[in-house]
Amino acid sequence: MKRRAFIRLIGCLAIAWPLASYAQQPKQPLKRVGLLASIGPCPLQPDNLIVRRLGQLGWVEGQNLAFDCASAIGRIDQVRALAREMVSRRPDVLMAAPPQFVSALRQETTTIPIVMLGTWEPVRLSLITSLAKPGGNVTGVAYFGLTPKLMELLKEIVPNLRRVAYIFNVEDAYSPLKDYEVEEENRQIAARTLGFTWQGFRAAVADDYDGIFARLAGEQFDAVYIPELPFNTNNRTRICQLALRHRIPAVSGSSTWAKDGLLLTYAQDPSWSVSRAVDYVDKILRGAKPSDLPVEQAAKIDLVINLKTAKELGITVPTSLIARADEVIE
């Protein structure tokens, strides 16, 4: 063989060999992420914050990620069964937000990492050992009960606050006992400090809200607090309309409620919490252990006041409170 032809042959083999080796490499399995959702439909849409944040971090469904989503909307009594089904799929990491959802997953697995998407009072509810050293398989983002502060802000608008209602749902029956105790403790702190009394009303189906608000108006309650429970959240528009129709000052622990017409909200920013929680998912998918990831406390808290609603209710909001608001809706 002539020298020039020999050199060309060797060069071709040198190029072809690594290409052939690359082609023979087995395809890497997709990482699996499971979400036990309390609100919103499944599967998640491309514009969903979780999907978008995962994409920003390099995780794209169908390319290197398989995403499972189970929604408890309309079947809150099946949360434990849904958690069991989700765990049986053996995902690499699980996500959930409300305490009862995180608890349901935790009861089914002590090995698959669980990331909290902004879960309230996880230490007091024994979901983790501490923020710095969560222990076990649960980590993520936590927030803490703001009911006393929320009611303090409300009293600046309604100084003669004496009787306050709160609306709970059927899903409370599926919450851990400690969930009741912690929320009740927060409510009683607010009541003792500010000098008012609570009365609870249960909404099991959507039509219950109509009767509840009619009763609140008839019995002249001073205000109503709407806890951010999944069933309440799924009926948010209806609740806001009823509060306005019956002229009852209403507050909640989620900023989206004020934007839909509630008088006042004081809450952690859910977008910030979810985005930070997805960062935990990314770290775990890349090899981090949940027990080594300190739980992050939600730090961004927004006061939102709906002045349009205040005007319709005939309420004057103090200018000092308006000045402290993060957002004012006019």
pLDDT in tens, 54-109: 999 999 999 999 999 988 766 777 888 999 999 999 999 999 988 889 999 999 99
Q: Is 10 a domain residue?
A: no
Is pLDDT at 173 greater than 50 in this prediction? no
Q: Is residue 191 part of a domain?
A: yes
Average pLDDT over the chain reads 87
Give the tens place of pLDDT for each residue, 230-244: 788 889 999 999 999
Say yes or no: 255 and 209 in one domain. yes
48 and 81 co-located in one domain: yes
Residues spanned by the domain of 109: 31-144+270-297
Please indicate, yes or no, if residue 124 is contained in any of the structural domains. yes
Q: 157 and 192, same structural domain?
A: yes
The model's pTM is 0.80
User: Does residue 56 sit in the same domain as residue 184?
Assistant: no
Which of 90-110 are b and which e, b meaning 16 or more Cβ less than 10 Å from the residue's Cβ? ebbbbbbbbbbbbbbbbebbe
35: closest CA among 114, 121, 128? 114
Parallel/antiparallel/unpaired status of strands 264-268 and 296-297: unpaired
* Residue 253 forms part of a structural domain: yes
Based on the domain organization, do 35 and 169 belong to the same domain? no
Cβ atoms of residues 244 and 258 within 8 Å = no
Number of domains in the chain: 2
Q: Which two tokens stand for residue 171?
A: 């899903």
